[in-house]
Structure 1
């Protein structure tokens, strides 16, 4: 619907739109992917350019307002939104420029992964980026960037070659290996709070456009046996094999038959980055485990794999996450995961297990702020319910997620910063380790001595 313009203060040098609570579409503009986030900024500065972002930051600084930065607005904790401050909203800044000869892509901060994938796949190229195509580039990149290609081609941050950002005093800086190298280190995995990044340049790799990939489903009661076989296989799997394990009731997803909807399942989605028969051979051991209910592994567009689960994590539902890294998939870990997955009350809740290793573990641990590269698995427990179910499911599902991860504490190591929810701020040192956390804190103090950039 058309928005109603109301009087807003003039922002020198700002050509975008300043949205305030007086605007008719204020609630639509401030809405986040996670419908459980409900914060009310004083201003949302809808930026069209880096100069707009700089003007917005200076405007906020002059008024002593806390500043947060929003790209795609997909972060579960909602740190891109603040109460009574100013949001530098970079969502309108969507752009992708691909250089197929150099195998690079430069993208604006409002770009979503599906948009970047579409542009790069036109040349048979891709960069590691998420497992849901409506995730934004900005937050995922700044936190590290887990994704389907990470075991073969590294994390998103391992492929970030350059960034431009607006600092707390409104300056435009370029960061790469040669210019502002300490800032470049921090931007690769350090999360939010270093500035408003207005441009990302990535190294691309030949991928697709078709890949052998898809999910295989087993009954949840078979999960202990299936995951023991899975553990033994992935421990020595080559980096061309990527897997994601999901424990849940089968969603009402378009790729699943109706008769499986809501049935408790163990689902292993897998990808082989190889051609023809070689790809089939790589995935054959996983596909032959036990007696699957359904095998949907087939040649499909890489972009289709990236967007396969989009429909089961839509914007507006209520999400609450708890997460931990896991040193190993021991028998007690597998049994604990299976037992707790079966206890979810919401049919939309699930646990998802990412397998790292490969290029992630082989990268220089000092090159980026992403920590715990030697941890082979990251578990993310997602409590999910509809807004109308807040009273009936909100509290029990949050407790389920907390209890799930607490039960795995003896086996945990570290946590991925992008999986931290709004009540997890005390876990930031755990995400980085003491040395990296202290180094990031010092970098933030140097760039933002007055603490202009808040965390929501």
Structure 2
């Protein structure tokens, strides 16, 4: 392989860590850490392991509840590892009886670590990872601990797919309930939460309910987009599946940051003049992976644009990608990699690397906007991005969201583009300067916001950000439903709102 090919490959691998705020080697810690002998302390009806704060291995378990290194300094009184819906029912009843407020964890991927709260019970669902698929109905029934790659593999064997997260290790419970920006979501009705057709939910009084558009539609409405502030526990999700795309091609182009205005203008023109509504368009402002971290911005900061096309044939993919190849994107770029073929699984295999620095177990902070002016939002933060405090900090925009207001989902923004600012760093002592850099992105982006994506807001320092993730009417409805279904406050709400 020549030097240029090697450079292109490494640059492509870099993109995946940026599109995925996660790591492929994130563990289901409870399975790795569970002891064979019964726990000293038991809860009637709970078969899973229970770890109390006074136990010798408590801190190991506590830290394992968040996969990355941004471990919140919050300490539940006990961690309960549920193995079944029956475990969940028993644990919730026990918590209600003993006035232990409950927080819930499925994958521990959220950068804020909302499942770690002070006091009460942390109910860990990550070991609940069953998958069953009804091929005729194209429905996957999954438990909340199922990871992205696991559903990809199981569905692919049946010729089916789902708009899974861009990172293979993300738990699907939190991902789907918080909205879900996933692979090929542009052709699947927008956010993955809208593909939830039903759920099994344990309520604060210990009932196990099946919710859908016809059964308990108010809880179903909340499940579809509520994120980490849900007033119950989802023990199983029923997801609409879709045919696996017969062909996937991607074209990528790399530019110096100084050409961002040309990139956004060209992208706007292509989208206006061509039918590319179903194309996943990702633009990343990032540090060049082969340039030293201390290099000046004019030499190190780049724009990495990729168009992913999912179609019925390779020929259709090629037709869709033609306008990009015939534009200034192709003639003014530093590097181009056009018409690259992928399988659905290959989106992970080729676009994710264990050694990718942006996918490593670092410290993370994220915030975002949903907007109909994605190009303007990127241009607004470009100058501030030049001062990014680490080489892994980046800004990512995903166009063609195709979301519309929905009466049957609390996620109901009409937005074309997601723009997120990501802080990634190593040392706790650097927290203040990273949070300061991230915070200064927010007013620059918010001037173009119509809403926010609840899975990736920085709620640790700004709890009101959660309220801003919903329309005023939907936020008020969520509060009324919480009072109705959890009048005694068994479950934690959003960070800063309990």
Given the superposition, is the C-alpha separation of residues 240 and 395 from structure 1 closer, same or farther in structure 2, using an over 3 Å criterion?
A: same
Q: Which of 10, 15, 23 lines up with 2:42 in the alignment?
A: 10
Once the two structures are superposed, residues 203-261 of structure 1 have per-residue CA deviations (whole angstroms, 9 ceiling, x without a partner) of 11112365213643222222221122112323554332111211111347xxxxxxxxx
Whether 2:471 is the aligned partner of 1:433: answer yes
The answer as to whether partners of 1:133 and 1:310 remain within 8 angstroms in 2 is: no
CA displacement at 1:158 relative to structure 2 = 1.6
Once the two structures are superposed, residues 121-154 of structure 1 have per-residue CA deviations (whole angstroms, 9 ceiling, x without a partner) of 1122111222111111111111111122222112
Query: In structure 1, how many angstroms separate the alpha carbons of the residues matched to 2:135 and 2:40?
Result: 44
Structure 2: give runs of 5+ residues left out of the alignment: 1-31, 291-298
Tell me the matched-pair count: 440
Query: In structure 2, how many angstroms separate the alpha carbons of the residues matched to 1:315 and 1:170?
Result: 39
Query: 1:229-308 alignment to 2 at 5 Å?
Result: 229-235=266-272, 237-251=275-289, 263-274=300-311, 275-287=313-325, 288=327, 289=329, 290-295=332-337, 297-306=339-348, 308=351
Structure 2 partner of 1:35 = 69
Once the two structures are superposed, residues 324-380 of structure 1 have per-residue CA deviations (whole angstroms, 9 ceiling, x without a partner) of 22231455x34323222222020111111121343x23xx521211121x2211211
Given the superposition, is the C-alpha separation of residues 418 and 7 from structure 1 closer, same or farther in structure 2, using an over 3 Å criterion?
A: closer
Query: 1:221-232 alignment to 2 at 5 Å?
Result: 221-232=258-269
Structure 2 partner of 1:259 = none
The answer as to whether partners of 1:128 and 1:148 remain within 8 angstroms in 2 is: yes
CA displacement at 1:103 relative to structure 2 = 1.2
Q: CA RMSD in A?
A: 2.3
SS at 2:450's partner residue? coil
SS at 2:365's partner residue? strand
Once the two structures are superposed, residues 42-66 of structure 1 have per-residue CA deviations (whole angstroms, 9 ceiling, x without a partner) of 1110010001011111111122111
- Scaled by the length of structure 2, the TM-score of the pair is 0.83
CA displacement at 1:449 relative to structure 2 = 0.5
SS at 1:197's partner residue? strand
Q: Which of 76, 90, 95 lines up with 2:125 in the alignment?
A: 90
Given the superposition, is the C-alpha separation of residues 427 and 237 from structure 1 closer, same or farther in structure 2, using an over 3 Å criterion?
A: farther
The answer as to whether partners of 2:378 and 2:397 remain within 8 angstroms in 1 is: no
Given the superposition, is the C-alpha separation of residues 263 and 223 from structure 1 closer, same or farther in structure 2, using an over 3 Å criterion?
A: same
Structure 2 partner of 1:258 = none
Query: In structure 2, how many angstroms separate the alpha carbons of the residues matched to 1:390 and 1:74?
Result: 19
Structure 2 partner of 1:321 = 366
Given the superposition, is the C-alpha separation of residues 282 and 423 from structure 1 closer, same or farther in structure 2, using an over 3 Å criterion?
A: same
Structure 2 partner of 1:257 = none
Structure 1 partner of 2:87 = 52
Query: In structure 1, how many angstroms separate the alpha carbons of the residues matched to 2:214 and 2:308?
Result: 35
Structure 1: give runs of 5+ residues left out of the alignment: 253-261
Q: Which of 419, 442, 448 lines up with 1:379 in the alignment?
A: 419
Bigger mean CA deviation after superposition, 420-429 or 114-123:
420-429
Query: 1:358-377 alignment to 2 at 5 Å?
Result: 358=402, 360-361=403-404, 365-372=406-413, 374-377=414-417
- Scaled by the length of structure 1, the TM-score of the pair is 0.90
Query: 1:437-456 alignment to 2 at 5 Å?
Result: 437-455=475-493
The answer as to whether partners of 2:399 and 2:417 remain within 8 angstroms in 1 is: yes
SS at 2:128's partner residue? coil
Query: In structure 2, how many angstroms separate the alpha carbons of the residues matched to 1:149 and 1:315?
Result: 25
